[in-house]
Amino acid sequence: MKILLTGGAGFIGSHTCVELLEAGYDVVVADNYVNSQPEALRRVEAIAGRKVASYEADVCDAAAMDRLFAAEKPDAVIHFAGLKAVGESVEKPLMYYRNNLDSTLTLLETMKKYGCSRIVFSSSATVYGQPEVLPVPETARLGCSSPYGWTKYMIEQILRDQAAADKELSVVLLRYFNPVGAHPSGLIGENPNGRPNNLMPNVLNAASGRMKELKVFGGDYDTPDGTCVRDYIHVVDLAKGHVCAIRYAAEHTGCEAVNLGTGVGYSVLDIIKSFEKSTGVKVPYVMADRRPGDIPAVYADPRKAAALLGWHTEKSLDDMCRDAWAFKEKNPNGYGAE
């Protein structure tokens, strides 16, 4: 079975490539490399010992997608490609709506033309906004707080509508919580463009001295230690969730939303402590003001993923910290020149 990964050279895409190859699937990647590097795919090949066909292509480019489907005839698609910076989406909403929605519509039209009827979509826990219930189940009320989040919400709706109209179609909407960590080989990992926004890349920068100190955004939340609580998930566990979703999509039609999280929430200070314990490296930090838009606590109810996909997480917070640090130490400049 051949799987097309849009955005397959990115952080989650590259780890999913490895897991699919190791599970025996054939993989083809379409990526425009706006937020990723072809080098990630060379390293995927090194880890898996298999070749990855890749196309430098924008998923919004209908002619390029048509050529790719005609040549490769994928049996299923995992749609990772998309712009993903929350802050940037607030400044440039039109760019986010145009890119993320257009690419999905083009992809779905091309899939329809070529009779490809299985799609797994990279959604996000951001579609829950401020959840009313914790841990948050898939049935929770949805609502977002950024244009980025709304693109995920809207794409979920587009896919749900299309699955209702096309009885052949199989859609799995994977709602990721907070992916961190790296492949244990240290060959692939997260490689953010410019100044990172997310917590773990900033922990790594503070620990390596690239940044003077980590700013902990808010110590006065109504949480056990006053800092925000999130459901951090090892990217290899997350990648394996995609293999399970592809297996499920091969055997079922319809549309299902599934949380991919551990079910356990950790605070920002928990992350710092776990990082220091598992790596032996200090994280200099200061308490700072709250970051606008942050939600005090979000963590997943992961029971549907277990029941429907037979998936559960295996790795600990210490694994996440240790593997993220190993990638950073081996690749201080990401995939660029050392």
Positions marked catalytic: 148
The size of the chain, in residues, is 338
Residue from 14, 126, 170, 259 that binds ligand UFG (CB under 6 A)? 126
Q: Is 331 one of the binding residues for ligand UFG (CB under 6 A)?
A: no
State the residue number with the nearest CB to ligand UFG: 228
**Cβ 277 to ligand UFG shortest distance, Å:** 18
Which of 37, 197, 223, 316 touches ligand UFG by CB under 6 A? 197
Q: Least distance in Å: CB of 197 to ligand UFG? A: 5
Query: Contact at 8 Å (CB) between 261 and 123?
Result: no
Q: Using the Cα atoms of residue 131, residue 132, residue 136 and residue 137 in order, give the sign of their dihedral.
A: negative
Binding-residue total with ligand UFG (CB under 6 A): 21
Read off φ and ψ for residue 68, nearest 5 degrees: -65, -45
Q: Establish if 155 lies at the interface with ligand UFG (CB under 6 A).
A: no
Residues 27-66 vs ligand UFG: string with x where CB under 6 A? ----------------------------------------
Q: Which is nearer to ligand UFG, 197 or 208 (by Cβ)? A: 197
Mark out the alpha helices in 86-234 (DSSP H runs): 86-91, 93-113, 147-165, 199-208
- Contact status: 131 vs ligand UFG (CB under 6 A): no
Q: Give yes or no for a contact between 18 and 47, defined as CB atoms under 8 angstroms apart.
A: yes
291 binds ligand UFG (CB under 6 A): yes
Report if residue 204 touches ligand UFG, rule: CB under 6 A. Answer: no
Is 86 a residue that touches ligand UFG (CB under 6 A)? yes
Of the two residues 116 and 228, which places its CB atom closer to ligand UFG in the complex?
228
d(CA 1, CA 26): 6
Cβ(231)–Cβ(259) below 8 Å:
no
Contact 79, 119 (CB under 8 A): yes
Q: Is 202 in the site for ligand UFG (CB under 6 A)?
A: yes
Q: Which is nearer to ligand UFG, 65 or 239 (CB)?
A: 239
273 makes contact with ligand UFG (CB under 6 A): no
**x-or-dash string of contact with ligand UFG, 208-227, rule CB under 6 A:** ------xxxx----------
Q: Does 160 bind ligand UFG (CB under 6 A)?
A: no
Is 289 a binding residue for ligand UFG by CB under 6 A? The answer is: no
- Residue 239 main-chain phi, psi, to 5 deg: -60, -40
Q: Which is nearer to ligand UFG, 84 or 304 (CB)?
A: 84
Using CA atoms of 178, 298, 173, 163 in order, give the dihedral in degrees to the nearest 10.
Answer: -160
Amino acid at 113: K
**What's the closest the beta carbon of residue 45 comes to ligand UFG, in angstroms?**
28
**Which tokens is 168 given?**
């052949």
Q: Does 125 bind ligand UFG (CB under 6 A)?
A: yes
Residue from the set 103, 110, 178, 191 that interacts with ligand UFG by CB under 6 A: 178
CA torsion sign, 24 to 26 to 31 to 37? positive
- Using DSSP's 3-state secondary structure scheme, residue 296 falls into coil
Burial of 141 (0-12, 13-18, 19+ CB in 10 A): exposed
Q: Is 104 in the site for ligand UFG (CB under 6 A)?
A: no
Q: Residue 259: what residue type?
A: N
Task: Give 132-164 as a DSSP string.
Answer: SSSSBPTTSPP--SSHHHHHHHHHHHHHHHHHH
Interface residue list for ligand UFG (CB under 6 A) = 84, 86, 124-126, 148-149, 178, 197-199, 202, 214-217, 228, 230, 268, 291, 294
